[in-house]
Amino acid sequence: MTQMDKGIENLMSARKCLRANFEKSKALGLSIEKAGPRFYEIIQRLPALEAAIRPIRAQKDALGAVGGHINRAVVPATAVLKVFDAIHGLEKSLSDPQSDLPGYLGVLKRLEEALRFLGENCEMAIQWLADIVEYLEDHAVADDRFTLSMKEALTSLRELHSGEEKGRLDGGLLEVALDRLESEFRRLLVENTIPLPMSDPALPGEQACIAPSPLPVIVIQKLQAILGRLIANNRLDKCISIYVEVRSSNVRTSLQALNLDYLEISVSEFNDVQSIEGHIAQWGKHLEFAVKHLFEAEYKLCNDVFERIGLDVWMSCFAKIAAQAGILAFLQFGKTVTESKKDPIKLLKLLDIFASLNKLRLDFNRLFGGTACLEIQNLTRDLIKSVIEGASEIFWELLVQVELQRQMPPPPDGTVPKLIIFITDYCNKLLGDDYKSILTQVLIIERSWKQEKFQERLLITELLNIMRAVDVNLETWSKAYQDVILSYVFLMNNHWHLYKHLKGTKLGGLLGDSWLKEHEQYKEYYSAFFLKESWGKLPALLSREGLILFSGGRATARDLVKKRLKAFNEAFDEMYKKQSNWVMLDKDLRDKTCQSIIQAIVPVYRSYMQNYGPLVEQEGSGKYVKYTAQSLEKVLNGLFHSKPVKHGSFKVRHPSGKFSNVVTDQNQTSPTVK
């Protein structure tokens, strides 16, 4: 081989080697290009890898001890997780409390026990986990970020365990279960609470069924069972709130049938007690019905349902029901009556209120005597105090009021003053079975407050003094008439009224037979004077003197008859005109007086006309013969009837000089007393 051939062969080998190296370099370049992103990813993972291998870099003793800490925490943590899973497994076992209350309560109790166990063991697990975090942090065994994450999770776990979050460890399962139980408590109450049906609300005391049926025993037992679980979970206040809401609403619904709108009347809405007299009578019946039947039933039911919890609880519950159902409105109405203006009628109404409250005194003390009913007690005390003070004040002022009436003019028609009619009837009522014992009790209490002793004779003496004042008033008024004949009519009217309307009464018995007889005699005395001084003078005008025909001739007799008939007619008409405005209220007195007048005049007039009427008949109808005996009698029978008039107000002057309406104006004529 030549030297040239050898050189070419070497050149070809070098060329091949270069080509191979170039291909390798090219492949290596492509590999390096592809490996670039992977290197970048490795660089990004280096911190995490560094944290992962840190425990390997930690001291051997620290790494060895961390295992024990982990093992101690795993056991309670595992138990917590198992119980937590079991708790949520119970959710499927929670049936509907309406369909299976015992089963629901049983599962709920197991849920409470599981949660209690969870709470106790969770606390242990939290302690061990906290110990691990503290160990890792102190010995730098774990990465700082991992330690921080562990601390945040541990803080959340502590908050859940302590109940600082609504969800709590059970995720709110217990709260939902208790809410359903509260709903069942309400449902049982609502569906078994029925308003009291009343066929005649105006007469509640006469109802065939006057008390609501108590809740069935089985319902009470269910309510008590529900209460037991709810109380164990601090939900007693909510139960009481539900119970009060349902039961008080039921009582209000029952009372609505009684039409109690009048309880809302304010002092400014009525002028005097007479305007609401009917309401006061209703008030006593309605209050008795409400206390003895509605509130009594609620009192017993509260005891039945809440008896296992304690006296304070169920008494507080009952107090709220009573207040919300309307007992305060009843008491406030009575207080409103006491605040109205004073008048004698108000005394009777205050005594009615006192009688109603006194009748219910034992019931009030038993039902509302606890500390929970303090508001009811205070309002009741205030009402009784106002009633006693108001009634006593009016009673002790009666004599002064009667005496002050002497300043008033007497009735212009001679009738019985309204004061006389009122005061006689009024005093009889105060002495009657309905009021005497009540008034005596009120006055005894009033005197005891003043540290004074009361004796029943004080009541009798005061009423006798009032009637003596009435006698003095009559004498004073009779002297005020300018027409003495009218004063006789006035005295006839009043003496007869006192005799007739007090005879056989409590007041009449107190005054005595001699007092009554004296007034009867006075009536007869003034009746005789009345007839003598008025109508009794008319027959003398029909004198027959000089009318003997043969003594003076027919013409002379005719002139005398004309003259005497004219004088009689004029005197009759004048007297009738004047007395036709006078009034005798009592029908017996009016009829007897009219008959006395008729007997004194008509027979004389009839005889006169029979004998001498023909002498003047030709003079024309009615010129001298104005009346027949029959028409005269009819006219006289029409005397002394009352005329319909508008009644005013009778003003009684107070010692202070002010006036207040007491009874109807004595100067107004009242309807005839038959």
The confidence score (pLDDT) of residue 177 equals: 80
pLDDT tens digits, one per residue of 82-108: 555 444 544 554 566 777 788 777 766
> Number of helices and strands (H, E) in the chain?
25, 2
Mean pLDDT of 34-39: 66
Provide the token pair at 15. 């060329």
The confidence score (pLDDT) of residue 519 equals: 95
The CATH fold assigned to 428-642 is Monooxygenase (1.20.1280)
Measured CA to CA in angstroms, residue 296 lies from 190, 310, 442 at distances of 19, 19, 27
Mean pLDDT of 543-569: 77
- Which one, of 434, 351, 437, lies nearest residue 392 by Cα? 351
* Plot region of 172 (φ>0 → left; ψ -120 to 50 → alpha; else → beta): left
- Which one, of 517, 515, 537, 493, lies nearest residue 670 by Cα? 493
The confidence score (pLDDT) of residue 661 equals: 43
pLDDT tens digits, one per residue of 347-376: 999 999 999 999 999 999 999 998 999 999
The confidence score (pLDDT) of residue 550 equals: 46
Which of 176-185, 311-320, 552-561 is predicted most confidently? 311-320
Single pTM value for the model: 0.72
3-state helix, strand, coil in the chain (%, to 5): 75, 0, 25
- Residue 254 contacts residue 196 (beta carbons within 8 Å): yes
How far is it, in rounded angstroms, from Cα 413 to Cα 645? 12
The confidence score (pLDDT) of residue 264 equals: 87
Provide the token pair at 605. 């007039």
* Band (560; pLDDT cuts 50, 70, 90): confident
The mean-pLDDT minimum among 59-68, 130-139, 474-483, 560-569 falls in 59-68
Q: What is the DSSP string of 267-296?
A: GGG-SSGGGGHHHHHHHHHHHHHIIIIIIH
- Whether the per-residue pLDDT at 183 is higher than 80: the answer is yes
Please provide the average confidence, as pLDDT, over all residues in the chain: 80
How far is it, in rounded angstroms, from Cα 180 to Cα 158? 28
How far is it, in rounded angstroms, from Cα 424 to Cα 405? 15
- Whether the per-residue pLDDT at 204 is higher than 80: the answer is no
The confidence score (pLDDT) of residue 81 equals: 54
The confidence score (pLDDT) of residue 152 equals: 65
- Which one, of 392, 396, 397, lies nearest residue 655 by Cα? 397
Mean pLDDT of 331-339: 92
pLDDT tens digits, one per residue of 227-259: 998 998 889 999 999 999 999 999 998 888 888
Residues 597-630 as b or e (16 or more Cβ within 10 Å = b): bbebbbebbbebbeebbebbeeeeeeebbbbebe
* Band (65; pLDDT cuts 50, 70, 90): low
552 vs 468, residue with greater confidence: 468
The confidence score (pLDDT) of residue 393 equals: 94
Q: For residue 533, which phi and psi values (nearest 5 degrees)?
A: -90, -5
- Residue 121 contacts residue 83 (beta carbons within 8 Å): yes
- Whether the per-residue pLDDT at 66 is higher than 70: the answer is no
pLDDT tens digits, one per residue of 507-546: 999 999 999 999 999 999 999 999 999 999 999 998 888 7
pLDDT tens digits, one per residue of 574-618: 999 999 999 999 999 999 999 999 999 999 999 998 888 888 776
| 422 CB-near residues (< 8 Å, 6+ apart) | 344, 650, 662, 663, 664
Provide the token pair at 633. 């009698």
What are the E-state strand segments in 454-613? none
The confidence score (pLDDT) of residue 102 equals: 81
- Residue 172 contacts residue 166 (beta carbons within 8 Å): yes
* Band (669; pLDDT cuts 50, 70, 90): very low
- Residue 262 contacts residue 202 (beta carbons within 8 Å): no
How far is it, in rounded angstroms, from Cα 452 to Cα 455? 10
Give the three-class secondary structure for 586: strand
- Which one, of 295, 473, 457, 494, lies nearest residue 401 by Cα? 473
* Band (205; pLDDT cuts 50, 70, 90): very low
- Whether the per-residue pLDDT at 126 is higher than 70: the answer is no
* Band (167; pLDDT cuts 50, 70, 90): very low
Mean pLDDT of 486-493: 96
The confidence score (pLDDT) of residue 201 equals: 46
- Which one, of 435, 408, 430, 432, lies nearest residue 419 by Cα? 408
How far is it, in rounded angstroms, from Cα 215 to Cα 209? 16
**Percentage of the residues of the chain whose pLDDT score is greater than 70:** 69
- Strand-pair category, 659-663 with 650-653: antiparallel
- Whether the per-residue pLDDT at 178 is higher than 70: the answer is yes
- Which one, of 372, 278, 268, 276, lies nearest residue 323 by Cα? 372
Residue with the two structure tokens 């305007």: 275
The CATH fold assigned to 63-163 is Methane Monooxygenase Hydroxylase; Chain G, domain 1 (1.20.58)
Provide the token pair at 159. 């908050």
Report which DSSP code applies to 95: -
How far is it, in rounded angstroms, from Cα 599 to Cα 608? 14
Q: For residue 465, which phi and psi values (nearest 5 degrees)?
A: -65, -35
How far is it, in rounded angstroms, from Cα 573 to Cα 420? 32
How far is it, in rounded angstroms, from Cα 25 to Cα 31? 10
Q: For residue 660, which phi and psi values (nearest 5 degrees)?
A: -145, 150
| 312 CB-near residues (< 8 Å, 6+ apart) | 372
- Whether the per-residue pLDDT at 49 is higher than 90: the answer is no
Using CA atoms of 448, 450, 453, 456 in order, give the dihedral in degrees to the nearest 10: -80
- Which one, of 236, 245, 253, lies nearest residue 189 by Cα? 245
Mean pLDDT of 131-158: 61
All structural domains of the chain with their residue ranges: 1-57, 63-163, 213-407, 428-642
CA angle 50, 56, 59 (to 5 degrees): 120
Give the three-class secondary structure for 272: coil
Q: For residue 464, which phi and psi values (nearest 5 degrees)?
A: -65, -40
Q: What is the DSSP string of 635-656?
A: HHHTTT---------EEEE-TT
The confidence score (pLDDT) of residue 73 equals: 53
Give the three-class secondary structure for 369: coil
Measured CA to CA in angstroms, residue 428 lies from 197, 348, 399, 435 at distances of 40, 12, 15, 9
CA 150 remoteness from chain centre: 64
- Tell me how crowded residue 657 is: count the other CB atoms within 10 A of its CB: 6
* Plot region of 622 (φ>0 → left; ψ -120 to 50 → alpha; else → beta): left
Mean pLDDT of 159-169: 50
pLDDT tens digits, one per residue of 277-300: 888 889 999 999 999 999 999 999
Provide the token pair at 643. 């005329």
Beta bridge partners of 663: 650
| 610 CB-near residues (< 8 Å, 6+ apart) | none
The confidence score (pLDDT) of residue 341 equals: 83
Give the three-class secondary structure for 178: helix
**Percentage of the residues of the chain whose pLDDT score is greater than 90:** 48
Mean pLDDT of 197-224: 65
